[in-house]
Amino acid sequence: MQHIVRCTHERHACQVLEVFNEAILNSTALFDYRPRTPESMVAWFQAKERGHFPVIGVEGPGGQLGFASYGTFRAWPAYKYTVEHSVYVHKDHRGRGLGCLLMQALISAARQQDYHLLVGGIEATNAGSIALHEALGFSHAGTIRQAGFKFGRWLDLSFYQLILQTPANPIEA
């Protein structure tokens, strides 16, 4: 049985790191070149905590199967209602609906925190992630051509967005 959990550094950093590093080494889901270190997870979780950004995991037999989170989209104040998200599923558990489960929990958290816009940057040939986002109501918001270079080729970065009906009373302050 699978269940959603709030991830913490103490309990989940090793599994999150494993999923991150597999994606870095074997996919274009992350535009990093080098695996992350265990020490980097301290700062990553601290940044999520400082920003009140959730790290949502799905656990099942065998431990953590995937996770999703969001963070600051851009640093200027007028972007305060927009967050950029990411979702990762362990390589052995892809294609089982876990990405959808994680994204639904993340969307719910964004609504509860009164965000207005979720943005996802997806490498343009990642058909599975694009299909997942479109199935959840995200729409294509544009593509930056040749935004990254990895595995000996240029990578296009497509942005997908989901407009939420929150907050009820946005303010500029």
Q: Using CB atoms within 10 A of its CB, is residue 106 exposed (0-12), middle (13-18) or buried (19+)?
A: buried
* Nearest Cα to Cα of residue 88 among 52, 112, 56: 56
**Domain topology for 3-163:** Aminopeptidase (3.40.630)
pTM of the model: 0.94
Residue 61 has pLDDT above 90, yes or no: no
Pairing verdict, β 153-163 and 139-150: antiparallel
Residue 1 has pLDDT above 90, yes or no: no
Residues 33-53 have pLDDT tens digits of: 999 999 999 999 999 999 999
Where in the chain are the domains? 3-163
> What mean pLDDT is reported for the chain?
96
* Confidence band of 173 (pLDDT split at 50, 70, 90): confident
Average pLDDT over residues 146-159: 98
Helical residues (DSSP H) of the chain, grouped into ranges: 9-26, 38-50, 98-112, 127-135
Please give the Cα distance from 168 to 1 (Å, whole number): 36
